[in-house]
Amino acid sequence: MKLLFIDDEQTFLKYIAKRLSLEGFSVKITFSGEEGVDAASKENFDVAVVDLQMPGIDGIEVQRRLKDLQPNLPCIILTGHGSVENALESGKYNAYKFLSKPVDMDTLIETVKAAYDFKTRQEKLSADQHQSGKGSGKQGPISKLYDKFRKLYGVEK
């Protein structure tokens, strides 16, 4: 599993990367939001772990840009400056989970694995819907629900 880890705290990041590597993960570390976005523009990752507050572009902007580059990439937001507002803002960009520093290593590993499982389930579901919907004209349950909400709120396609 390929992880993208973006955090400006270099000592912390090197320690976490070493621990995750020992657990069998392939870890790409970057020390700024700009470096992380650049890395994601050059290669695909299974899960991203993004610090919320960094110099330059912050974690929320990084998450937004990562979603543009790799729409199915689950992002785990990791921060020492957590707040409800930040969690809600991250939720706009479908943050998989919001964890506070200092993070328990077992919790981080479990969360990364769960995010990867979520990603693979979503990709399989998307592939299944694409195959079953090909030429049949049928809508899946999510599409039907979406259509109901569009009608309810008067939103056109």
| 74-127 pLDDT tens trace | 999 887 765 555 555 555 556 888 888 888 999 999 999 999 999 999 888 877
Structure tokens at 23: 């657990």
pLDDT at 142 over 50: yes
What whole-number distance in Å separates Cα of residue 70 and Cα of residue 52? 19
Q: What is the pLDDT of residue 80?
A: 77
Domains, the chain, in order of start with CATH, read 2-153 (3.40.50.2300)
| Mean pLDDT computed over 22-45 | 96
Q: What is the pLDDT of residue 88?
A: 57
CB neighbours (10 Å) of residue 86?
19
- DSSP assignment, residue 81? S
pLDDT at 1 over 50: yes
Q: What is the pLDDT of residue 135?
A: 45
